[in-house]
Amino acid sequence: MNRRRFLLAAGASSAAIRATETKLLLPSDQPDEHGFRLMWYNPIPPIDQKTWRLKIGGLVERAASLSLADLRKLPQESQSSRMKCVQCWSARTEWGGFRFGALLEMVKPKARARAVRVDCADKWYEYFAIHDLQSPRVLLALEMAGAPLAGQHGAPLRLIDPSRYGYKSAKLITSIQFVSEGKGSMACDIGPYYSPTGEIQAGYDHPLDLGAKARRKISGGEITDY
């Protein structure tokens, strides 16, 4: 079953729950030049990167409104990581951006803050435990494959967590709010078959960047073997 048919079949189970609200857009079966199949929740809204701001607030000592230029002034790092989709494919590329710890130092979360809610321009949202975002492999990405993020890949800011399925790597990020507890995710609202934490499970993977017929067995967690 290809990804399009999988989504149509799986989505039917939750259609009665959110028939008028869910606007999940299905991708082409053809991967892009990086080996990625693209999917987003609503049509990508037009974003003026000159006026765009990342709003950070909630349980913090100092709320912030950061421009793209502000984010580029933070210590920048790069990493090669493979994004694994819950629909069984994956692709590897180079990502560039900054670590979540840079934001923690800036806004100073209050003691009772335990999680963050991440909101996106297409109305997607995810919750994360703060300690999960402090993993040395989690990146807030501004670049992909040596170039600024393109709109279809989540510009101007997206999350990259290679130990979790792609639906947890929120795109088009506009807001990060510190809260006392997490409350699930948009993916779980759409379909109860999604895990709220999104850890990659043992099973099989089809790395599209290595060829359409490639199939690899994986043990769970970040894919580092290829």
Domain spans in the chain, listed from the N-terminal domain onward: 3-218
H or E stretch at 102: helix 100-107
Residue of 72, 83, 88, 114 whose CA lies nearest to 222 = 83
| Mean pLDDT of the chain, nearest integer | 86
* Spatial distance between the Cα atoms of 194 and 185, rounded to a whole number of angstroms: 9
- Kindly report the pTM of this predicted structure: 0.85
Q: Which CATH architecture has domain 3-218?
A: Alpha-Beta Complex (3.90)
Locate tokens 């701001």: which residue?
53
Tell me which residue of 180, 140, 176, 159 sits closest to 56, measured CA to CA.
176
Tell me if residue 216 falls in helix, strand or coil. Answer: strand
- Over 70: is that where the pLDDT of 7 sits? no
pLDDT tens track for 181-219: 988 888 888 877 788 899 999 999 999 999 867 899 999
Judge whether residue 101 has pLDDT over 90.
Answer: yes
Query: Residues of the chain with pLDDT > 90: what percent?
Result: 68
Asked if the model's pLDDT at residue 14 lies above 70, the reply is no
Report the DSSP pairing between strands 115-120 and 125-129: antiparallel
The first and second tokens of residue 46, run together, are: 């037009």
pLDDT score for 27: 53
- Going from the C-alpha of 200 to that of each of 16, 157, 172, 223, the distances in angstroms are 28, 23, 22, 9
Residues 117-130 pLDDT 10s: 999 999 999 999 99
